[in-house]
């Protein structure tokens, strides 16, 4: 077998590639999970409102879809603002 050099980066070079002010990956996953959860709850609420207001299957589908989009969009905006705020809190000013 031929010697194949391994191209692995050390932890130091990987740490330098990622800016220190970014939130952790777990925070991003939590934000994503909250957007998905809000979309599910919005869909349930939209379905319930359409079910009470109409007997049409198309109206129930539209209500579910609109409820999901509106809820996920709203929570997504808040999640982005929170992630940006976290990045601002972690930012360190260079020594003067």
Q: What are phi and psi of 26, to 5 degrees?
A: -60, -35
Tell me if 1 is assigned to some domain: no
Tell me if 26 is assigned to some domain: no
**What is the DSSP code string of 37-93?**
HHHHHHHHHHHHHHHHH---HHHHHHHHHHHHHHHHHHHHHHHHHHHHHHHHHH--P
Tell me if 16 is assigned to some domain: no
Tell me if 30 is assigned to some domain: no
pLDDT above 70: residue 93: no
Instruction: Read off the pLDDT of residues 40-90 as tens digits, 9 standing for 90 and up.
Output: 999 999 999 999 998 888 999 999 999 999 999 999 999 999 999 888 886
pLDDT above 80: residue 27: yes
**pLDDT computed for residue 13 by the predictor:** 54
Pick the more confident residue, 92 or 15: 92
């Amino acid at each position: 077998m031929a010697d194949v050099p391994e191209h692995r980066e050390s932890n130091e070079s990987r740490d330098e590639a990622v800016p220190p002010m970014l939130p952790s990956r777990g925070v991003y996953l939590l934000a994503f999970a909250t957007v998905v959860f809000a979309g599910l709850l919005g869909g349930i609420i939209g379905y319930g409102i359409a079910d009470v207001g109409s007997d049409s299957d198309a109206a129930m589908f539209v209500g579910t879809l609109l409820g999901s989009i509106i809820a996920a969009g709203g929570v997504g905006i808040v999640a982005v603002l929170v992630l940006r705020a976290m990045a601002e809190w972690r930012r360190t000013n260079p020594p003067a």
